[in-house]
Amino acid sequence: MPWLIAETKRELISRTVFRKAGTELRYDPALKINECKDVYPPGEDTMLLLESIDVAKGEEILEIGCGSGMICIHCAAVGAEVTAVDVNENAVRCTLQNAERNGVRVNVVLSDLFSSIFRKYNQIVFNPPYLPGHETDPLALSWSGGKGGVEVLDRFLRDSPKFLEHGGKITVVVSSRMDEEPLRRSLSMFRVQEIADKRLFFERIRVLSLQVG
């Protein structure tokens, strides 16, 4: 969907966001990301997250829910050491194929959130499923966020501090479709900085930077 990526890119140019030192990711059309059957395709939320991430060369990054690999491949292309996981076997294969196609190294693992992760990272990136619902087929898992759209994110946030290096951060997408009070409770253990937002006709999506606090 190149028209979608181009339109999203134009809309992001005017954003003013808080950043720390590092490389500010930008969509690179030279990177060829093929979509795959039964894998969540890049959309507005993907692009908003992509252009909100701040990456330093050599930084160790974990992406949860890698889908087709758009985020993790961009991070690897600017010199980050990247591990990417997904609960969908099709997404794992898709990301591996796209990484090989672009000549970048990404360690891709089949994992339900942190179930196959055994080390710490400088930054964890997650575009979670945030629509209310309990669908279970592989593709639906990419948008079905459980009760109130917050259930999967809450599981992630409860475990994520154990996988962060000291001073590390989490970069995550949230949506106005999520139930507000459960989301507030899930975020309460972190220092929260909103770094980007985008209003769509049916929702508002935001990118948050979280640090354990």
- Which sequence spans correspond to the domains of the chain? 2-8+32-212
CA distance 68 to 65: 9
Low-confidence winner among 17-31, 45-59, 196-210 (lowest mean pLDDT): 17-31
User: Long-range pairs for 192-196 at CB < 8 Å and ≥24 separation?
Assistant: 193/18, 195/17, 195/18, 195/19, 195/52, 195/171, 196/12, 196/15, 196/17, 196/48, 196/51, 196/52
Q: Among 3.40.50.740, 3.30.565.10, 3.40.50.150, 3.30.1280.10, name the CATH number for the domain at 2-8+32-212.
A: 3.40.50.150
The pLDDT-based confidence of 13 (bands split at 50, 70, 90) is very low
Given a contact cutoff of 8 angstroms between Cβ atoms, the answer to whether 101 and 30 are in contact is no
The pLDDT-based confidence of 200 (bands split at 50, 70, 90) is confident
CA distance 16 to 88: 34
Say what the pLDDT of residue 111 is. Answer: 97
Say what the pLDDT of residue 24 is. Answer: 82
Reported as a single tens digit per residue, the pLDDT across 106-162 is: 999 999 999 999 999 999 999 998 665 566 656 555 544 456 568 889 999 999 999
Low-confidence winner among 140-144, 174-178, 192-196 (lowest mean pLDDT): 140-144
The pLDDT-based confidence of 210 (bands split at 50, 70, 90) is very high
Say what the pLDDT of residue 178 is. Answer: 86
Say what the pLDDT of residue 40 is. Answer: 87
Query: Residue 127 in 3-state DSSP?
Result: coil
What's the whole-number mean pLDDT along residues 163-168? Answer: 96
What's the whole-number mean pLDDT along residues 58-77? Answer: 97
Is pLDDT at 8 greater than 50 in this prediction? Answer: no
CA angle at 98 for the pair 103 and 118, rounded to the nearest 5° = 90
Structure tokens at 87: 């609960």
Give pTM, 2 decimals. 0.86
The helix (run of H) or strand (run of E) holding residue 157 is helix 151-159
